[in-house]
Structure 1
Amino acid sequence: MERYDRPYVEAVWYHDLIARYRFDDVGQGAEVYLGVNNIFDETIPNGLVGNTSTSAGYDIFGRYLFAGFRTRF
């Protein structure tokens, strides 16, 4: 199938997940968090003129994990 036979760009759904835990007895509420963005590692759709590899509306990095610690002083 030629890419011009389909004059539209398919929709993509991204699923993200984050978990947080707050330590209320430490300072002003310390918090640890862990998450994953783009759980199912969806790729961006191809457009009419090649690959629409722009970050405007699409996740260009694929699946990634993150973790952190946050507090206030």
Structure 2
Amino acid sequence: MPKYSATDQKGRYLHWDEFQWQVDSGDDVLAAWCVTKFARMALAKGLPQLQAEGDHYFSYCVPDSLFARLHVIDKMTGGG
């Protein structure tokens, strides 16, 4: 399923409640979600300082499409 990645084709980071309705007809919804989650895990950055139970810790994913939006926010808040 190479057509599914961390974001949709418009660069949006969709959560499950939105993602499940965007899957192409005929594609397995759960398989597409697994591919998306795997792509997000590959981009994820971990924060071991925020450890939860056992070996689990907080992680976050910043896809490429988000950098442009973050740049706009940075400029609006005085970053030049």
The structure that is strand-richer by fraction is: 1
Assess same fold via TM > 0.5.
no
- Does 1 or 2 have the higher relative contact order (CA < 8 Å, sep 6+)? 1
| TM-score (norm: length of structure 2) | 0.22
The normalised TM-score by structure 1 is 0.23
Normalized per residue, the structure richer in helix is 2
